[in-house]
Structure 1
């Protein structure tokens, strides 16, 4: 019988493993494909449709990654069963990544579904193994396996049998998503899985670095595009400089002195864990926005610069507001608790200014600096 050993949730010096980093590498391929689809769709003048497609594709990537991450935190024993199932999971991630480009072009997620089902089948195997001999969370593990199985049947029937790009189908997709989100809530009510708090915080931080890397890639492309034969493109240089300031500020406000997740209470944990979808997606979308601006300023887009400005402003604003929602409002009181929320609102209004992306950069730097100064000053830290 397949079985996995439970990890100690209080284990000292728990860190991400090379295998987990390998999973992150496969995830970044899929994330890059989704961000590229958003970038090119908005540049071609299909902003609303591309944003929706991006959210659908990114949601599948994020959900599969998140489920694996929390499972590994509790049951990664480094054994043959875990490693083999993880390799199957990785294969599914690559199939999903291959299907994302086609999804943006045809709006049919058939190949994405194939990859997702492979990944989820690996998770069913892992949960059944975790429910094996000596497990203190057997009922929880069996609930996870059953819930994942039922939702996969739903997706296969919906997408393989009836899918078309229409409002009724999108509502059915939303119903399936709600069912997926409900599985962990239902399963954890039996007994909580023994996830490791510091390990989970590190895992989420690593994926944040990955999605911020999409911004660095876009900024590098802007710098390359500014090297026009005979003269420098000043608008692209301003875009690249603004991008650097925004990216550095987004990193700064995420990797702060405070612990991200100070409580293991289910309500707090689910808000933090699920709410990170907004953090990850908005960071990746910000990079896509800079890609759009680069295309516009180099004459390779059918949309105007306002499309890139709006995408950047909305994405950075959502990033700041999401961090306020999942972290700052729990940790602080008074003015420090509201800094990121106010910064997010300011970013949403930035497209109304003459220099939208530069305005977002100023807001981002001000928010990161003010937040660090107010919080560190109150805590007595240098």
Structure 2
């Protein structure tokens, strides 16, 4: 494994991401139609397997990705199965839940074929690919069977299948961390690409809100603040993308840091998407009337989730440093604590404002919370203030 050789996302991987952009868009539409607690929980329930599908493909590519004809064909099949999943998301927990399960099972089955193929061509990796193939095959079978079982037992099988899927790599990560660690440059770039896609969909909600309704000074200000929130979250996230967590796994066996960094992307992506829906609702709201409680909580909870996840990423980046006294690591740790503290404050604000607040005030508070993290970053990093041409 050429862990330190420069490597970037392939055009095929970028093409594959397009179908997940559609899936995320479908999920955001689902949430847009129902921002109640039940609607949010349904949104999360569908988002988790979607995220895991993408992560599975990304991890295979970072370890064994090739650009031969067979790999391209198998990727095409995965795109087809994922597209079928996108079609069934609107009723993914209702009448289409069986088809959703079948599309998930099909995508995972194709990934199993890829791992078996990789083990055949890379004998030294066979101990890893065999274990992954067995675990992922078992999960795919559980998902397949669930399609023919009535709810609620169908959803119980989904939970079992997800547990198997998530635990399979966890059981073997430390054992194979040195020989088959994810690529330090490629994997963070893949996560960054997916993050950009989700942020783009969040901005799309703001644009749609402005484009489909009459403009007012308040709606324009709300849209601008929403854009500022998205930009702030982009800033905070990409200030920490350096592959340090993977390097810590490879060189110092810091499994906990690596696993935390990996799985915290689940709530991060969910939070980004939900926040985009929340901003769209605020832009479209009657600016002279108080917001419904459900929309207040959607905005506050999603913002808090984003800041919490970003804070954890900042902390894991700090803990990844091989030298605990490293000044950059200490700075990142402090920034992470600030983000975590702000996440708690945002939730407290939501509790205080539950009885009612006008839209522009709420989004202004959320924007201040996010922009505040950017200001702290600028103060602690002089290179942002002193450009070198």
Q: Report the TM-score range of the alignment, normalised by the length of the smaller protein.
A: 0.7 to 0.9
Match of 1:18 in 2: 11
Q: Partners in 2 of 1:234 and 1:313 — Cα distance?
A: 23
Match of 2:22 in 1: 29
Match of 2:303 in 1: 316
Cα deviation digits, residues 20-50 of structure 1 (max 9, x gap): 00110011111110111011112xxxx1111
User: How does 1:101-250 map onto structure 2 within 5 Å?
Assistant: 101-103=90-92, 106=94, 108-164=96-152, 170=155, 172-192=157-177, 193-226=180-213, 228=214, 232-250=215-233
Q: Quick one: structure 1 residues 258 and 87, their matched pair in 2 at CA, closer, same or farther if it must change by over 3 Å?
A: closer
Q: Count the aligned residue pairs.
A: 359
Match of 2:343 in 1: 344
Unaligned 5+ runs, structure 1: 1-6
CA-CA distance at 1:73 after TM superposition: 0.7
Q: Partners in 2 of 1:196 and 1:170 — Cα distance?
A: 34
**In the alignment, is the contact (CA less than 8 A) between 1:339 and 1:371 conserved in 2?**
no
CA-CA distance at 1:113 after TM superposition: 1.3
CA-CA distance at 1:71 after TM superposition: 0.6
CA-CA distance at 1:130 after TM superposition: 0.9
Q: Partners in 2 of 1:40 and 1:160 — Cα distance?
A: 28
Cα deviation digits, residues 81-111 of structure 1 (max 9, x gap): 211111111111101111101226x265122
**In the alignment, is the contact (CA less than 8 A) between 1:350 and 1:360 conserved in 2?**
no
Q: Partners in 2 of 1:188 and 1:337 — Cα distance?
A: 26
Q: Secondary structure at the match of 2:185?
A: helix
CA RMSD of aligned residues (A): 2.6
* Greater CA drift, 351-360 or 93-102: 351-360
- Asked if 1:361 is matched to 2:367, the reply is yes
Match of 2:42 in 1: 53
**In the alignment, is the contact (CA less than 8 A) between 1:261 and 1:327 conserved in 2?**
no
Q: Secondary structure at the match of 1:364?
A: helix
Match of 1:4 in 2: none
**In the alignment, is the contact (CA less than 8 A) between 1:272 and 1:327 conserved in 2?**
no
Q: Partners in 2 of 1:133 and 1:73 — Cα distance?
A: 16
- Asked if 1:373 is matched to 2:379, the reply is yes
Match of 2:235 among 252, 274, 277: 252
Normalised by the length of structure 2, the TM-score is 0.85
